[in-house]
Structure 1
Amino acid sequence: MFKSLLSKALLLLPFVTAGAVAEPLVWLAKDSQRQFVLLGSIHAGDQGFYPLPQAFLDYWPEADGLVVEANILQPDDVTINRDIPTSDALLSNNDKAALVDIAKQAKLPYQSLIHSPPWLAAMNLQMAMATQAGLNPVHGIDIVLLRRAQEQQLPILEFESVSQQLALMENLPDHGEDILLSTIHDWSEMQSELNCLVSAWKAGDLQHLLSLLEDSQYSDATEEKLIFERNRDWASQLTNKASFQQGTYLIVVGAMHLLGEKGLPALLETQGFTMKRLTEGNKAQCE
């Protein structure tokens, strides 16, 4: 989600690479004056993520802008609030002992994790696992499309700034303790879950992605703050903001923001947009 995780190199992955075409979920939202093409992103990827669906790329030449969660290419100096309680202050002794072992597996320094806010420790652990699984932020959908838009001088619009995203994480219930606890308690299963998430994304398996969202171990309050509240804000921006009153826009946000009755497509439909799914998808080869 953040610049520190998503812009560690300057490599631009081209759209077209060898291999089978991924078929992630793409929706088209239309009203009389505008159309939004929505693609669910994973923030770290591999070359198997590309090329992106033609159903999405077909709209690139006529697009008036690329809309992302936050423009991580734009300078935005952020500083973590050091007054927030650290993981050391919030975790039980048993969870700290488990974190020692997990830090070794993740090849991350325990002291750095334990003295970080829980949300940041969880993010670093999850990114380390993604890296060990062969995923790289450089190949994440967001950064690839942002660099492509920058190269071609396609306007880039953002729902949030990086500073706003940092403030969001710092103000999660209990500073994201439930995210860290979920990461610690489910660590041994997370690798297979990550592989399954990637398979479901590539296949465009809507039902499997929905089940992953519904099986989340995060608290209801955290999910509301992290996913659903932001969905409502983004739908409001797309519907009401002057920037989006006319034209064609490519919308790229985390895949979980597009799912279910509280997802962005469903919210746009309630605002009078006609929704159409542009990719059929397939069943993911995982349980």
Structure 2
Amino acid sequence: MYKLKLRLTPFFFIGPAVFLLIVFSIIPIFISLGLGFTDMDLLGLADWSKVQFVGFDHFENIFKDDVFIKSIGNTFFYVLIGVPIVIVLSLAIALLLNYGSNMLFSGFRAVYYMPSITNIVAVAVIWSFLYNQEYGLFNYLISSLGFDKVPWLQDPLMAKFSLLLLAIWKNIGVDMIIFLAALQAIPKMYYEAAEIDGANRWQKLKYITLPSLSYAIFFVSVTKLIGWLQFFEEPFVMTGGGPLDGTVSMALFIYQEGFQESRFGYAGAASFILFIIIIFVTIVQFSFKKREEM
């Protein structure tokens, strides 16, 4: 009986987390895949007998949908620009803040981390006012310097960069904390030995700090890519995917098709495609990491 308790104890600790993972992550994946093969809509929810099997029609038609194709391009635009900038800036800020431990540096840590714990909807609403072309603070400052007003959310390309600016500002704090924790875990004797050998700051950064942060950088890059591939809140609150579908992301496209147009089957197909993209990108990252370690 005692041995049985020892064997079951770990499962009591991981059981709640596994249960939540299965109920809210794994099962919905299979449900969305199943919906992708049907014409499920609001009428189908009321009467399941009216739901019809459509095979691969949604998966074929969705790649002919100009808005979906544009959402893929927009999503990769956010990822390819936003993720590297977030990683570089958060690492740079962590390196600067790691040099001191007095109240001033602690205050800066709180300042940089504060946006990460602020409600994204409230932040996006406030930034929408800041971006207002006629009365926003940003254009007021630009006009006071003698420059023309910028159409922050009115031009498709400028709107993408405007959303990126907000998202980068919002995401730096969490990664900064991760890098700070990794920096403080590096043994000081490495730096002391390097100083005895006459290494300068750049050499210590190149040969000690960055290699010691490789796993932290890998973790942040994986989580950031997964998170930014699901870019949703900023375009949903600030632009609604406009102008001219210039800011619509894949996650926002899924929401619009599923909850605004009530095309649950079509949205299910799109969500499964997004899931496949996330899995593929994650596998590629892990394969590159394994090659580096070999």
Same fold (TM over 0.5): no
| Greater strand content | 1
Bigger CA radius of gyration: 2
| Greater helix content | 2
- Greater RCO (Cα-Cα under 8 Å, separation 6 or more): 1
